[in-house]
Amino acid sequence: MKTIKARKQLYYKQAKFSFKTSETLQSLIEKAIKKLKVTDRSQSIFEANLNAEDSAPQEWLRLINSPRYVAGFQCGTLVSYSPGMHHMVIAIATGNADELDVSKHPPPDGKRFMETPLYFAIRDNHVIILQSMALRVDAFESHLNWLLNKSGALSTKESVTLSDAIPAEIKKKIKKRAVKKIMLQSPFFESKGEDLSESTSFRKSIKTAAGRGMDIIKGLIPAVQYEKLVARDLSEVRDIQLNLEIKVMGRKRADTHDHDAMRTLMDAIRHVDDPDIVRAEIDGIGTVKGSELRVHDYRNIKVIDGVLETADTYETMCSWFASLVDNNQISGDH
């Protein structure tokens, strides 16, 4: 076995509920895992292709696996696999071959090939995440809501979001200084597959325009105003660019807090991989990039034969959280 240390990026998020509750995300997810056996907490996802209307959707199963209680955290992995999926293998190059042989291999009996998992550690409403290319934070947030709804921990009208926390140092600067301008640039539409839960009509959904620009606008304006946008008509045009510039006019009132406005904006783009699509111009400070408004860092984690070692991953995530609190980057309160 080959063991190395690999540099992995960790993200800190805060659980925000759509309703008032004395419960925490940790307590709710612990109840859900205890109540539902692994076979009952498998969520069916049907992935449709926007560019292939006549093709059948591909089914994926998502579930929380490997739950562990580590140093006061509820840890686990979000895994995803597709029944019947084979993996492609390629021959090793030898001699002067013009091409390499490629073949597909089925999984062993009773097994399934899975995507690289997402790792998480939750304490109260603090969430540490190590995402993969296959499973991002938005997939985890979506699955959490599904799981909590199914277990009865949340009603169908209640939800939880995983929001970015503005680092304490930046928050302090914003509180003392006025935000003069916020600039945002992103494609309005993106051609991509859309995840459909269980019985949702995939033929209807694959015709729905999807993109970061639309998601951002939806997060920034009231639902009624968003519905008035003619998104269906615009969806035929694929090269629309969203360029949003918000200028703050006049003097900053003493009773206003600009970090609340920045939090609203960061909530709207919480699932965007590149937060630097947002830039804020702060009086007396200059331009602050979106990545500076997120709490994230790199840590070395043990990898065995190309796979993260689960125990070391959990321990690293928990110790990183402790360092964030010790360095006053975040508050350790609920």
Higher pLDDT, 303 or 209: 303
Asked if the model's pLDDT at residue 115 lies above 50, the reply is yes
139 vs 62, 84, 117, 196, 203, CA distance in Å? 9, 22, 11, 11, 21
pLDDT digits (tens, 9 = 90+) for 2-13: 899 999 999 999
**Gyration radius of the chain's alpha carbons:** 22
Over residues 238-248, the mean pLDDT reads 63
List the single range of 49-58, 171-180, 235-244 with lowest mean pLDDT: 235-244
Asked if the model's pLDDT at residue 253 lies above 70, the reply is no
Q: Which of 109-113, 186-190, 202-206 has the highest mean pLDDT?
A: 109-113
How far, in Å, CA of 9 to CA of 6, rounded? 10
pLDDT digits (tens, 9 = 90+) for 193-224: 445 454 444 333 333 334 555 565 665 556 66
Q: Are 46 and 202 in contact (CB under 8 A)?
A: yes
Count CB atoms within 10 A of the CB of residue 172.
Answer: 13
pLDDT digits (tens, 9 = 90+) for 137-150: 999 999 999 999 99
pLDDT digits (tens, 9 = 90+) for 136-183: 999 999 999 999 999 999 998 999 999 988 888 887 777 777 777 777
Phi, psi of 95 (to 5 degrees): 60, -145
pLDDT digits (tens, 9 = 90+) for 271-283: 777 777 778 787 7
Q: What is the pLDDT of residue 51?
A: 60
Q: What is the pLDDT of residue 194?
A: 46
Confidence class of residue 132 from pLDDT cuts 50, 70 and 90?
very high
Q: What is the pTM of this model?
A: 0.79
Q: What is the pLDDT of residue 273?
A: 77
Residue 213's Cβ-side half-sphere holds a number of Cα atoms within 13 Å equal to: 19
Closest CA to 62 of 35, 48, 84, 80: 80
Closest CA to 76 of 15, 143, 14, 21: 143
Q: What is the pLDDT of residue 289?
A: 84
Asked if the model's pLDDT at residue 334 lies above 90, the reply is no
Asked if the model's pLDDT at residue 284 lies above 90, the reply is no
Asked if the model's pLDDT at residue 228 lies above 50, the reply is yes
Q: What is the pLDDT of residue 185?
A: 67
Residue 312 carries which DSSP code?
Answer: H
Asked if the model's pLDDT at residue 28 lies above 90, the reply is yes
Mapping DSSP onto H, E and C, the string for 164-205 reads ECCCHHHHHHHHHCCEEEEEEEEECCCCCCEEEECCCCHHHH
Q: Are 287 and 280 in contact (CB under 8 A)?
A: yes
Q: Which residues of 292-308 are buried (b: 16+ CB within 10 A; e: fewer)?
A: bbbbeeebebbbeeeeb
Q: Are 164 and 268 in contact (CB under 8 A)?
A: no
Q: What is the pLDDT of residue 136?
A: 93
For residue 199, give both structure tokens: 């019985």
Give the orientation angle of helix 137-151 with respect to helix 25-35, to 10 degrees.
60
pLDDT digits (tens, 9 = 90+) for 55-108: 678 889 999 999 999 999 999 999 999 988 899 999 988 878 889 999 999 999
Q: Are 14 and 301 in contact (CB under 8 A)?
A: no
Higher pLDDT, 261 or 73: 73
